[in-house]
Amino acid sequence: MIKFAFIGAGSLQFTSSCVRDLLTFPAFRECEIALMDTNKENLENITKICKRITDFMDCPNCRITATMDRAEALKGADGVLCTIFNGDVDIWRYDIEIPKKYGVDMNVGDTRGVSGIFRALRNIPVMIGLCRDIEKYCPYAVFLNYTNPMAILCGAMQKYTNVEVTGLCHSVQHTIEMLAEWLDIPKDEIDYKCMGVNHQAFFTVLEHKHKNLYPKLLNLMNDPEIYNKEIVRNEMLLKLGYYVTESSGHNSEYNQWFRKRPDLIEKYCTHSTNWNPGLYAFSLNLRLERKANPNKQYEEWLDKEPDKNKSDEYAADVFNARFGDGKPFIFNGNVQNRGSIPNLPYDACVEVPVAADRSGIKTTIAGPLPEHLAILVNTTARIENLTIEAAMRKSKEMVYYAVYNDPLASAVCSLEEIKNMCDELFEINRDFLGEYK
């Protein structure tokens, strides 16, 4: 019986979607799904949901197990899927609130910038530890990571462990779905190439029946209703010429253009009509609401009729290609660059088209980014590499260097202010980080 281990299984969105997706493949209808979480109540809730999914999908021989013991979940696993959140909102809030004191206004703060860097410092040791357990208990398992900061965590695991690991995000497919709607073209008819780093990858090719779609997309920016849906991303399109993955809110904190002054935040990050315009502490506030009533999301899910249709998440397709029916699957994954994008660092973790089949996950040669985009993405990739080395060496100095060069922090703060901000975050994170020198 094929076994899947879900680490951090209490993450309702990803676990419920991926379990359902797995059961749409004949090879996995009699699998074991081992759910592991450190939160007992969340584990009990997600177990109920997964059992309901197996009933609804008519998979009586699918075995659902639940444990708070990571080793037990991993033993003999063929596939591992991770959605952990080390520190929860109790520490995440300081990642957002302390930078705000220094004028660094964060929207999500889970991927990059000073908030994403400290989140990475907390999570890298946990992820390396998880990989050590995979090496011990299921050394041939395929490990798919959904935890942010995606590129930093995957880069650390790919450099410092022997686990077959790639990171999955849904920003590429969600963005194509959105653009297809705007362009009034079925999404399956759009041909594209997307490349860069996670949350900062650009569609360098966007075509329909061999016709470039960018002129039509640029023309749509004259429609205020379309422009206002994603103000930051649409402004980047108008000025940079290419469309970027991930929401306007996320992208507003990855560069120096949109959040360095209150007037810019008001203009670009407040009034978009899609789900995340860029409001301060947007995701943190959602998490705080959820924490106040932790059972609500599970109860709401159980009150609805389950969906039998496969989602657009990649995980089940990747697992199926690797050890299911073996049908090759092409997707955007987070992998070591090694020349795929020649004008990004060779050892960067990039998000490029990759192919999965029975023999492994193979990186494609994506080609160079347009040079003006390469400048932006190089800064991101090099800061991410520096953060990985800082975590592995437990070096305060290297953390300072990373934040000194962060586009948003450096647009707002002096070097001394950045150092003081980092020192406050080091103190708050002491129980998670230990001693940095």
**392 in Cβ contact with 434 (< 8 Å):** no
Could you write out the three-class secondary structure of 284-344? HHHHHHHHHCCCHHHHHHHHCCCCCCCCCCCHHHHHHHHHCCCCCEEEEEEEECCCCCCCC
Q: Evaluate the omega torsion of the peptide bond into residue 60 and state whether it is cis, within 30 degrees of 0.
A: no
Structure tokens at 332: 């955007």
Catalytic residue of the set 170, 199, 210, 271:
170
* 140 SS3 class: coil
Angle at the Cα of 228 from the Cα atoms of 255 and 257, rounded to 5 degrees: 15
Q: Does the annotation count 250 as an active-site position?
A: no
Of 256, 216, 123, 200, nearest to 377 by C-alpha is 200
d(CA 126, CA 361) in angstroms, rounded, equals: 24
**CA end-to-end span of the chain:** 47
d(CA 356, CA 319) in angstroms, rounded, equals: 9
Helix (H) or strand (E) holding 404: helix 396-404
Task: Give 419's DSSP letter.
Answer: H
Structure tokens at 224: 């205020």
Structure tokens at 372: 């003006």
Please identify every residue annotated as catalytic: 170
